[in-house]
Structure 1
Amino acid sequence: MKTKSLLLAALFAALTAIGGFIKIPIPYVPFTLQIAAVYLAGCLLGPKLGMLSQLVYVLVGLAGAPVFAEGGGPSYVLQPTFGYLIGFAAGAYVNGWLMQIFQFRKAATVFLANLSALFAVYLFGCSWLYIAMKWIVEKPLTIGQTLWFGFLLPVPGDLLLCAVCSILVARMLPRIHSVIRKQEVVS
């Protein structure tokens, strides 16, 4: 990989970490701004690099850096919210893949790619929340409770961020492509 690509992945990993410190505590799954970095990573970096940025974030946290919303370290795998972190990597990949395949450029279509990323995050997150509460924490939630606390409570804010990031990406992409074309002409 080129140095520039690795730097971009590290930048978006850092943005995800920063988003984890901006949170609104709600039961079980705090609302954070991390998902905004996931949307932007997938849309702007593409599937592989977007996913890499989120894997770097997760690995840095598991290595012990307190970058997650509730700390860090290898034992974080046992936290009920760990599935959302895995979902970040999957979401960035899905988002980037859709952006790449369908060449989304308008805010409405970028919103669909972001919505797909959000679905991936919640799929992994709610699944792990249910499993962790039942077998690790031993305070089982019903499927309905899992969906309430793990999806319905935090999703309104994530949908708002989905819309905002869609508008940002739609406005940023033409400028980014213009800069890339100028660099290619100079090279």
Structure 2
Amino acid sequence: MAILSLGVSFQVGAVLLTGCVGGKNAAALSQIAYLVLGLALFRVFEFPVFTQGGGLSYVREPGFGYLIGFVPAGWVCGYLAFRNPPKLETLALSSLSGLGIIHGLGIIYLTLASLLGWLQTVSASYWELLLGYSILPMPGHLVVVCAVAVLSLVLRQLLFY
């Protein structure tokens, strides 16, 4: 039996789920810890924390801006998810806003890094990078947003908050 791939990693889903279930502080702090682990501790353990590795040189990767977006996205998602009692619509909108922040900051970083020459030797053009990092993954990310909204609603009802 074959499993259909969404073509995305579930890092974004983890950020949004942490915000919807754990709240703004848990989401932001967990993503800060994730970035520190990937940037600083990669050299110590040689364990690829991010999708394509880790270490301080990872800041020159085209996708690093999306990782930076995890921190404010988790915070905003958690803030919006806990403003009102949990409903599917509010959890979906809070997750969608988090996704927008991730892609917004990712695109800004990608644009600045391309214009200023920060990126490591990349053979792809800016438009190819934008297509690969934001446009093509968007349908899969929207499916993840829907799954996070449903899962977080169920978890919050099970946990009584």
Give the Cα–Cα distance (whole angstroms) in 2 for the partners of residues 68 and 39 of structure 1: 17
Q: Partner residue of 1:118?
A: 99
| TM-score relative to the length of structure 1 | 0.72
Structure 1 unaligned regions, length at least 5: 1-21, 25-30, 179-187
Instruction: Looking at secondary structure, tell me which structure has more helix per residue.
Output: 1
Q: Partner residue of 2:45?
A: none
Residue 149 (structure 1) aligned with residue 132 (structure 2): yes
Match of 2:157 among 165, 174, 180: 174
Q: Residues 61 and 116 from structure 1, CA distance in 2 versus in 1: closer, same or farther, beyond 3 angstroms?
A: same
Residues 158-169 of structure 1: pairs in structure 2 closer than 5 A: 158-169=141-152
Question: How many residues end up aligned between the 2 structures?
Answer: 149
CA displacement, residues 159-185 of structure 1 (integer Å, 9 cap, x when unaligned) = 00000110111111111127xxxxxxx
One-letter identity of the residue aligned with 1:33: F
Q: Partner residue of 2:64?
A: 82
Residues 1-187 of structure 1: pairs in structure 2 closer than 5 A: 24=7, 31-65=8-42, 66-101=48-83, 103-134=84-115, 135-137=117-119, 141=125, 147-177=130-160
Q: Residues 35 and 45 from structure 1, CA distance in 2 versus in 1: closer, same or farther, beyond 3 angstroms?
A: same
Task: Give identity over the alignment, percent.
Answer: 34
Give the Cα–Cα distance (whole angstroms) in 1 for the partners of residues 134 and 41 of structure 2: 28
Q: Residues 176 and 121 from structure 1, CA distance in 2 versus in 1: closer, same or farther, beyond 3 angstroms?
A: same
Give the Cα–Cα distance (whole angstroms) in 1 for the partners of residues 88 and 26 of structure 2: 22
Give the Cα–Cα distance (whole angstroms) in 2 for the partners of residues 104 and 149 of structure 1: 37
CA displacement, residues 26-67 of structure 1 (integer Å, 9 cap, x when unaligned) = xxxxx2110110111111111112100011000000014220
Q: Which has the higher contact order (CA 8 A, sep 6+)?
A: 2
- RMSD of aligned alpha carbons: 2.2
1:87 and 1:120 in contact (8 A); partners too: yes
One-letter identity of the residue aligned with 2:55: G
- Structure 2 SS opposite 1:177: coil
One-letter identity of the residue aligned with 1:162: V
| TM-score relative to the length of structure 2 | 0.83
Give the Cα–Cα distance (whole angstroms) in 2 for the partners of residues 61 and 55 of structure 1: 10
